[in-house]
Amino acid sequence: MQAFTYRNQTLHVEDVSVADLAETHGTPLYVYSRNYFLRQLTELRQAFAAVDPLICYSVKANSNLSVIKTFAGAGAGVDIVSGGELFRARRAGVDASKIVFAGVGKTHSEIEAALREDIRFFTVESEGEVERISECAVRLGTVGRIAFRVNPDVDPQTHRYISTGKQENKFGMDPARVRQAFKRAAELPGVEPVGLHLHIGSQILNADPFVEAIHKVTPLCHELREQYDTFKTLDIGGGIGIVYEPGDQQLKPATLAERLLPLLQELDLQIVMEPGRYLAGEGGILVTRVQYVKDSYRKKFFVVDAAMNDLLRPSFYQAYHPIVAVRETGETVMGDVVGPICESGDFLAQDRTLPDVPADALLAVHCAGAYGFTMASNYNSRPRPAEILVDGNNARVIRERENLDDLIRGEKMED
């Protein structure tokens, strides 16, 4: 199955014409391929089958209920990072025993909600958090399972905003502290230390940092396993990258597995993985309509109806997203694709060879299935786009386009 193809010179998502979708539902519009999502999950699962991992889809990548349900329906659990994501996951029917909860700043109410649901485990990032989970659990008469997030001090070779496993990052604890904290947790009421957690960063296209991180925690795993019967799990996090730019080389699950499986099998622990981008990223596009084409000094600007509020990644991380014409055209030109927002940082592409389309044409921004809609905002009072999930020749609206009333919901006006 090819998720995105041209048929009669028109871009299709599975068997559905993107031009038809734009006609019916308007633009900007997120469109996802359900079968692409499922294929990625299968590929990852098969590559790591030798350790039978629990794959917990990282909901922050794309938290639409239907997307969560797609993965959960295929047997995945989820990785959540807030009470809001817990709410979504449960609404989407995810079994609580397959929910893992990460993040450095969990509040009392988030912890209590997760304890009430009896989630699989919390990944904890500080001694204070362990104390808090213990207190909450004792109050509720229950026990919270916890896995300590280790900061292995590894360079994931990615954008500095999404690197999480280096010394200077706020995430995790150094191995020596984890050893101490594990001991203390084993004595505390209301918590059961069940494992270790790693997540070194995102958009990683090289197996080496993953190998290095696992190497760094291996001695600690052996030590804890000998000392504590409760220690049963290693969560190796997410982070597998996708191909955004020409020149990017996909880190294939099979390639990664070849390197990691010998290390993981030797540990003999329950393995959890938390992929987000790998499962969802390349399965989505953002469809946008050109409003104006303008020439200025040396270059051409395609002013489109999508903006940084709809897809923040180019502005925020200087991320490259491929942009194609929905109706194929042979001509290209150098230029920028920019949105209507009043900031020069509002661009989807800069100084790029682009399809030379006229005003009113449709463009599709690729690799928008992960960290696209979830990072969208209402900046400049722009209603957020609709989302469509395609399955074969079927296209379902999985989120309505916001309207003007949505923009002011909850606001109060002075008399």
DSSP codes of every residue in 383-415: PPPEEEEEETTEEEEEEPPP-HHHHHTT-----
Out of 65, 162, 263, 333, point to the residue binding ligand LLP (CB under 6 A): 162
Q: For ligand LLP, which residue of 190, 193, 275, 283 counts as binding (CB under 6 A)?
A: 275
**Identity of the residue, 11 or 99, whose beta carbon is nearer to ligand LLP in the bound complex:** 99
* Three-state SS at 355: strand
Distance CA 402, CA 378 (A): 10
Q: Does 274 bind ligand LLP (CB under 6 A)?
A: yes
Which residue number, 375 or 397, has a Cβ lying nearer to ligand LLP? 375
Given 56, 136, 221, 342, which residue is catalytic?
342
Q: Which is nearer to ligand LLP, 129 or 274 (CB)?
A: 274
Q: Does 134 bind ligand LLP (CB under 6 A)?
A: no
The number of residues making up the chain comes to: 415
Residue 79 binds to ligand LLP (criterion: CB under 6 A): yes
Q: Which of 272, 206, 279 is nearest to 237 (CA)?
A: 272
Q: Residue 102 interacts with ligand LLP (CB under 6 A)? A: yes
Instruction: Choose which of 77, 165, 237, 283 interacts with ligand LLP (CB under 6 A).
Output: 237
Q: Does 371 bind ligand LLP (CB under 6 A)?
A: yes
Residue 27 or 202: which CB sits closer to ligand LLP?
A: 202
Decide if 331 contacts 307 (C-beta within 8 A): no
238 binds ligand LLP, rule: CB under 6 A: yes
Examine residue 144 and tell whether it contacts ligand LLP (CB under 6 A).
no
Which residue lies nearer to ligand LLP by CB, 19 or 319?
319
Residue 56 known to be catalytic: no
Measured CA angle at 249 (ends 369, 349), to 5 deg: 50
Cβ-based nearer residue to ligand LLP, 126 or 203: 203
Q: What is the C-alpha to C-alpha distance for residues 19 and 287, in angstroms, rounded to an integer?
A: 9
Chain-centre distance of CA 239, in angstroms? 9
- DSSP character string of 12-69: EETTEEHHHHHHHH-SSEEEEEHHHHHHHHHHHHHHTGGG--EEEEEGGG---HHHHH
Q: Which of 253, 174, 257, 181 is nearest to 217 (CA)?
A: 174
Q: Is residue 61 within the footprint of ligand LLP (CB under 6 A)?
A: yes
Binding part of the chain for ligand LLP, among 62-70, 129-137, 199-207, 327-335 by CB under 6 A, reads 199-207
Structure tokens at 394: 């079927």
Helices (H) and strands (E) in the chain, counts: 12, 20
Q: Which of 120, 313, 321, 366 binds ligand LLP (CB under 6 A)?
A: 313
Site string for ligand LLP, 322-361 (x = CB under 6 A): ----------------------------------------
Nearest Cα neighbor of 230 from 172, 177, 186, 179 is: 186
Q: Does 276 contact ligand LLP by CB under 6 A?
A: yes
Binding of ligand LLP by 202 (CB under 6 A): yes
Number of residues that bind ligand LLP (CB under 6 A): 21
We find the least distance from the C-beta atom of residue 205 to ligand LLP, in angstroms, to be 11
Query: Among residues 239 and 355, whose Cβ is nearest to ligand LLP?
Result: 239
Give the number of other Cβ atoms within 10 Å of residue 108's Cβ.
12
Q: Is residue 217 within the footprint of ligand LLP (CB under 6 A)?
A: no
**Using CA atoms, how far apart are residues 236 and 331, in angstroms rounded to an integer?**
45
Q: Does 129 bind ligand LLP (CB under 6 A)?
A: no
What sign does the dihedral 172-177-179-182 (CA atoms) show? negative
- Chain positions contacting ligand LLP, by CB under 6 A: 58, 60-61, 79, 102, 162, 199, 202-203, 237-240, 274-278, 313, 317, 371
Q: Catalytic residue positions?
A: 342
